Structure 1
Amino acid sequence: MRRWTTGIVLGVLFLAGLIYFLYQEHDYDFDKSKKSYEIVQKWDLPNELDEISGMVWLGNDKLACIQDEDGIIFIYDLKTSTVTKRIEFGEPGDYEALAILNNEFWIAESDGKLFRVKNIENTQVKADKFELEFEYKNNIEGLTASPDGKLLISVKDRNLKTDEGGYKAIYKYDPVSGKLESSPAIKINYTDREFSKIKINNPKKLIRPSDINYNPVDGYLYVLDAEIPKLLVLNPKGSIKRMHLLDPEEFFQPEGICFSPSGRMFISNEGKGGDPNILEVKLK
């Protein structure tokens, strides 16, 4: 009996130590009194969008959304707080990001596949599939159209080349030629002074992008991070113009970001640690 009791106690202590270690590894000083944003509106999402992972603005207060597991584009109406349409484009998978380029929808799967949907008029469409050099070890999570008519792709984990270190890479893909540029288009350096606000032992975890998008008003690239909830505002060279730390209680799993043409910013939370939602956020 004593052996069982001792084993249980040791197990509890080990688990407590592991939780403490993980907490310390991902800790940062978040001061609610210095919050650099405000939440303007909130939309609670239905269960079918529990794992919402990407979204884009369609106009008329509608967003196109995807979620991790289903090959479906969901049209969400902000006015009525309902899903008004579902467009099936593929088999179940791990879909992580959504973008619009030249009136065509592009969806990224985490293991390096891109899907192009040319229209969403029907409820079932045939998507074109493109295989890239990325693998699961890279873990694609961000996708957006760049000002030069190409696609930017961000990786959450490893960069494309194993010898790339000291920064998180964002890559460029040309949909016309079908070529992925192996050299990073943007480098987010771990030594950027903005990262000094974060206490962490492993520099590779300073930024693990969950999504990216351009703000059409200021022209900057916004990089969202779910692991240590934050939002980076990058200038064209990739330097951090501003880092906004996000309250983990409000942004428990921020996975998607998009903008309206007027600059309204929307961030979506997966339903891990809370109910899935979309937040309209205004930076101070």
Structure 2
Amino acid sequence: MTTFLQQISLLALLTLGGCDSTKKEQVVYKDYDLGKPDKFNMPESLFEISGITLNQGNPDTVYAIQDEDGRLYRLGWDEPKQLNVKFSKKGDYEDVTIIKNNVYVLKSNGVIYNFPLTEAVFEEVEQIREIKKILPKGEYEGMFGDETSGKIYILCKNCEQDNAKRSITGYIIEPNKDSSQIAGQFSINVEEIKAITGKVERGFRPSGLAKNPLTNDFYIISAVNKLMVVTDSQWKVKEAYALNGNQFIQPEGIAFDKQGNLYISNEGDDLFSGSILKFKKISR
């Protein structure tokens, strides 16, 4: 039989636990309530959506790719009908970005496909350019294009030069018509992520990258680790959010609009369709 003192002790523990939970939620949901998205279910053609972007932060049109078909898709928010343009044959396409009215699509092997955004309205791209042999051999999934500087940031997911339990390398590319080249590189210290969350025991494997236009912080998502990591402009880790696997089925793409609202795309599975989740910036 439970004594009166045991009941009091149990109540005290529950109360303390509730306080800790509240405190944790205040940290996790600092800028976005990750538990209350506006959900946009994808049409069947984007079941395996792998990357998303917005042109100059304009939320009217979402540009997306999926990881098997060489097509760029265009969608109005919450509109099931999609339009698309074919830019290449079937392959493993992981991310997309638009800068200076140019589309850049990242293939998992590090090859980048480039074509003018004006060609997105046709059935097939004519002015296609492949940027090859710039990045070291490896597997790449996350890419962000900076409209202001014109530079492209690309993150390794699995590269020989990295130890995913210690650091992840990223590359800065200056794309141009004549000869694109690496303009610099950076690294993310995985130990800084571990200091916040223990969910990187097997190494950090990023799958998407974007920059918050209101703070200039970089946001990195990892489908493998079910994490969203926030760094400052110098790539020092500031925050790490655990993502609920029931909601974030397979988070692969990430983007921001010019109001600072956050978008995360998820590939589908046996039970759920692909989706894009929109999180409104919390006003303060």
Q: 1:195 to 1:117 in 2, by over 3 A?
A: farther
The equivalent of 1:275 in structure 2 is 273
Instruction: Tell me the equivalent position of 1:92.
Output: 90
The 5 Å alignment of 1:106-121 reads 106-118=104-116, 119=118, 120-121=120-121
* RMSD after superposition: 2.4
Q: Following TM superposition, by how much is the alpha carbon of 1:199 offset from its aligned partner in structure 2, in angstroms?
A: 4.7
Q: Distance in 2 between matches of 1:200 and 1:93?
A: 29
Q: By how many angstroms is 1:193 displaced? A: 5.5
Q: Does 1:38 align with 2:39?
A: no
Aligned to 1:19: none
For 1:35-184, what aligned pairs fall within 5 Å after superposition? 36=29, 37-58=34-55, 59=58, 61-83=60-82, 85-118=83-116, 119=118, 120-126=120-126, 127-134=128-135, 138-146=138-146, 147-158=148-159, 161=161, 166-176=166-176, 177-181=179-183, 184=185
2:268–2:274 CA contact under 8 A, matched in 1: yes
**SS where residue 263 of structure 1 aligns?**
coil
Quote the offset at 1:180 in angstroms.
2.2
Letter of the structure 1 residue corresponding to residue 154 of structure 2: I
Task: For 1:132, give the aligned amino acid.
Answer: K
| Alpha-carbon spacing, 1:165–1:199, altered in 2? closer, same or farther (3 Å) | closer
Aligned-partner Cα distance in 2 for 1:72–1:148: 26
Q: Using structure 1 for the length normalisation, give the TM-score.
A: 0.79
Q: CA deviation at 1:230?
A: 1.3
* TM-score with structure 2 setting the length: 0.79
- In structure 2, relative to structure 1, the CA distance for the partners of 1:148 and 1:53 (3 Å cut) is same
Which structure 2 residue ranges, 5 or more long, are not aligned? 1-20
Secondary structure of the residue that 1:39 maps to in structure 2? Answer: coil
- Conserved? CA contact 1:143–1:213, under 8 Å: yes
Assess if the C-alpha contact under 8 Å between 2:40 and 2:78 holds in 1.
no
Paired residues, what number?
Answer: 246
Pair 1:225–1:164, CA change in 2 (3 A) = closer
Q: Helix, strand or coil for the counterpart of 2:259? A: coil
SS at match of 2:207: strand
Q: Distance in 2 between matches of 1:211 and 1:141?
A: 6
Deviation track 1:29-51 (CA, whole Å, cap 9, x = no partner) reads: xx798353233300111121011
Deviation at 1:240, TM superposition (A): 1.1
Q: Deviations over 1:207-261 (max 9, x none)?
A: 2110101111111111111111111111011111111111011112000011111
- Assess, with a 3 A threshold, how the Cα gap between structure 1 residues 236 and 269 changes in structure 2: closer, same or farther: same
Q: Secondary structure at the match of 2:158?
A: coil
Q: Distance in 1 between matches of 2:96 and 2:240?
A: 23
Retained in 2: the 8 A contact 1:132–1:180? no
- CA 1:173/1:74 → structure 2, altered by over 3 Å: closer, same or farther? same
